[in-house]
Amino acid sequence: MVKAGVIADAELFAFLEAHAAEVRQRQEAALRFCIERAVAVKVNVVQQDPTERGVRAILNFGHTIGHALEAATAYTRYTHGEAVAIGMALVAHLSVELGYCRSETRDRLLRLLQALELPVTGIEVAPSRLLELMSRDKKALHGIVRFVLLKDIGAVCYHQEVPAAVLHALLQQHASPSGG
């Protein structure tokens, strides 16, 4: 639901910010609103790009790092949602560092993830291992990692190449002491 709001539905994102407690408590009305909006985002994106050649890539926001975290920990340390939450948080940091978005936008995302009790840092995997896994990701092009980067709440850009040195520094900065 957070991903859907970030990539294409600022109203959903704002609702999540205002109703994080109700969502965490699984209150039906809040969940119904969020699920309907998130599904509508996904349906709209898939209808725009049924062959996965363009805009559909935005559905992978946070997944490049998230999938690498899952694989590196043999799918036992993080749930899919936790791994993607960490991925979204790190991509938000990356987006600020590369000049794609303002720090205030990143901070809104981080606050929402934390309000939903999702992790935003503490990578327990060596950055070099994550980089290796990301270079083999289906979204990588000839081993070059490509990202969906945050521009604003409800707006992202896709197929963005990120220099390996910048990515390694980011991962190193957010690694837990046992991670690398």
Q: What integer pLDDT is reported at residue 64 of this predicted model?
A: 92
Q: What pTM did the predictor assign?
A: 0.93
pLDDT in the model for residue 119: 95
Phi, psi of 158 (to 5 degrees): -130, 165
The Cα–Cα gap between 6 and 84 comes to: 13
Nearest to 86 by CA among 73, 102, 104, 101: 73
54-179 CATH fold: Dehydroquinate synthase-like, alpha domain (1.20.1090)
Letter string b/e over residues 145-180, b meaning 16 or more CB atoms within 10 A of that residue's CB: bbbbbbeebbebebebebeeeebeebbeebbeeebe
Domains of the chain, residue spans: 54-179
For residues 119 and 175, the answer to whether their CB atoms sit within 8 Å is no
The pLDDT, as a whole number, for residue 123 is 86
For the chain, 180 residues long, give each residue's pLDDT as a single digit of tens.
999 999 999 999 999 999 999 999 999 999 999 999 999 999 999 999 999 889 999 999 999 999 999 999 999 999 999 999 999 999 999 999 999 999 999 999 999 999 999 999 878 899 999 999 998 876 667 767 789 999 999 999 998 888 888 999 999 998 876 655
